Amino acid sequence: MIKPHGADELNPLYVADPSKRDELLKQATDLEQVLVSSASAANAVMLGGGYFTPLAGMMNKADALSVADSMTTDAGVFFPVPVMNLLAQANFAAGQRIALLDPNVEGNPVIAIQTVESVDEFSQSELEHIAQAVFGTLDVNHPGVNAFLSQGNFAVSGPIEVLNFSYFETEFADTFRTAVQIRDEIAERGWQKVVAFQTRNPMHRAHEELCKMAMEATNAEGCVIHMLLGKLKAGDIPADVRDASIREMVQHYFPANSVMVTGYGFDMLYAGPREAVLHAVFRQNMGATHFIIGRDHAGVGDYYGPFDAQSIFADQVPSGALEIEIFNADHTAYSKKLNQVVMMRDAPDHSPEDFVLLSGTKVREMLGNGIAPPPEFSRPEVAQILMDHYQASNV
């Protein structure tokens, strides 16, 4: 099986031993309680699940600035985005242990215990430097920029012991999986070549066929559909609706035992190219050998070019930094000429009128009015789930 990123074995920071976990929870009551941001809580979940291997905790200022500039930590570990615990105030001493409280669960339970290595203050210009490098913009209308710059100016670095997986494990019990769990299931299934597909949206016919194309092109035995379960921008489809629609599609339109439907607990960054590289790290750590990068991967609005998330791997990711292979995909749509879904680059004799193309705005309008998109665009079972959601939202 493919090795984890930068290590021979995964480095999950979740305290798996129940008795040790109980003891740490007791200790947490005597520690300083710190309510962290949703982003920091999500970082804890991803560190706990092994997705951030080989990291051992939250980054310090030097690491964050180095990652922003060169996608490597101060010690030379390749990583595409800073992983920090940013706070508005932080009066802690080196060596102090603090209890990190989850902002996304009622009652704010302890999600992790962090041992403080340093507290570093960022100037506003330094934070903006990081934002510009990671997001490619300082526009506060960009949801990722807005979230990043609103967390605070103090980075608390150091290792963490993760005590739970926030709301993901309870609200998405059938879908949330750690990198450890996915790796174990891939091994149990005996898959050697595995394609991973990232989604924060429901999967329409083009996405379905893209997964099948990638599996065929790479001779993969299986596909892991890996959906983001964390915070999204306003207007995005809720995770439970996406989950239901994807499972319905897989049940009816994929061969049995060829797909794993899973999810991970992270907030969307909308960082385009940099987030595409981060997504590749996640997928290598969970055991996938190939990762699909499509048009406008992890983008939002018009901040990124349609294929910037592909070109970054050739232009900025050092050779050998990642073992996972990237499957570059073009815009995919149903061809009226060929009566099948194709990548548009593979149909040079087609005009736009030869494809079934619908804008996201048009699709949402149709679904909200109880009108199913054509079957060439969306499977009827999927369309029904989405129509129910949009009509319930309009009540």
Residue 290 CA to its chain's centroid (Å): 16
Please report whether residue 240 resides in a domain: yes
Let me know if 201 is a catalytic residue: yes
Same domain, 156 and 194: no
Same domain, 151 and 201: no
Please report whether residue 5 resides in a domain: no
Q: Domain containing 382 — which CATH number?
A: 3.40.50.620
Kindly name the residue from 97, 189, 200, 295 that is annotated as catalytic. Answer: 200
Please report whether residue 3 resides in a domain: no
Same domain, 200 and 287: yes
Quick one: angle between helices 179-189 and 273-286, nearest 10?
50
Same domain, 188 and 162: no
Same domain, 60 and 123: yes
Which of these, 81, 8, 54, lies nearest to 278 by C-alpha position? 81
User: What's the pLDDT score for residue 205?
Assistant: 93
Same domain, 156 and 229: no
Same domain, 156 and 115: yes
pTM equals 0.95
User: What's the pLDDT score for residue 318?
Assistant: 95
Q: Which domain-ending residue is among 131, 166, 201?
A: 166
Same domain, 336 and 366: yes
Kindly name the residue from 108, 146, 153, 201 that is annotated as catalytic. Answer: 201
Q: Which domain-ending residue is among 112, 134, 166?
A: 166
d(CA 73, CA 65): 8
d(CA 226, CA 274): 18
Same domain, 74 and 192: no
Q: Which domain-ending residue is among 166, 201, 232?
A: 166
Please report whether residue 12 resides in a domain: no
State the residue for tokens 């991967």.
297
Q: In which domain, by residue range, is 335 found?
A: 174-264+270-393
Question: Do the bridges between strand 259-264 and strand 222-228 make them parallel or antiparallel, or are there none, so unpaired?
Answer: parallel
Same domain, 208 and 320: yes
The pLDDT averaged over each successive group of 10 residues in the chain (395 residues) is 96 98 98 98 98 98 98 97 97 97 98 98 98 97 96 98 97 96 98 96 92 97 96 83 94 96 96 98 98 94 95 96 96 92 92 89 87 93 92 72
Same domain, 236 and 367: yes
Which phi and psi (to 5°) does residue 38 adopt?
A: -60, -35
* Largest Cα span, the chain: 70
Please report whether residue 285 resides in a domain: yes
Same domain, 245 and 123: no
Cis check: omega of the bond before 54, within 30 degrees of 0: yes
User: What's the pLDDT score for residue 395?
Assistant: 53
Please report whether residue 2 resides in a domain: no
Which of these, 36, 64, 9, lies nearest to 267 by C-alpha position? 36
Which of these, 168, 172, 223, 234, lies nearest to 198 by C-alpha position? 223
Please report whether residue 10 resides in a domain: no
Let me know if 189 is a catalytic residue: no
Count of structural domains, the chain: 2
Q: Domain containing 46 — which CATH number?
A: 3.10.400.10
Which residue intervals of the chain are DSSP H helices?
A: 18-28, 38-48, 61-70, 124-135, 143-149, 168-171, 179-189, 205-218, 239-253, 273-286, 308-315, 360-368, 380-393
Please report whether residue 64 resides in a domain: yes
Question: Do the bridges between strand 332-335 and strand 355-356 make them parallel or antiparallel, or are there none, so unpaired?
Answer: antiparallel
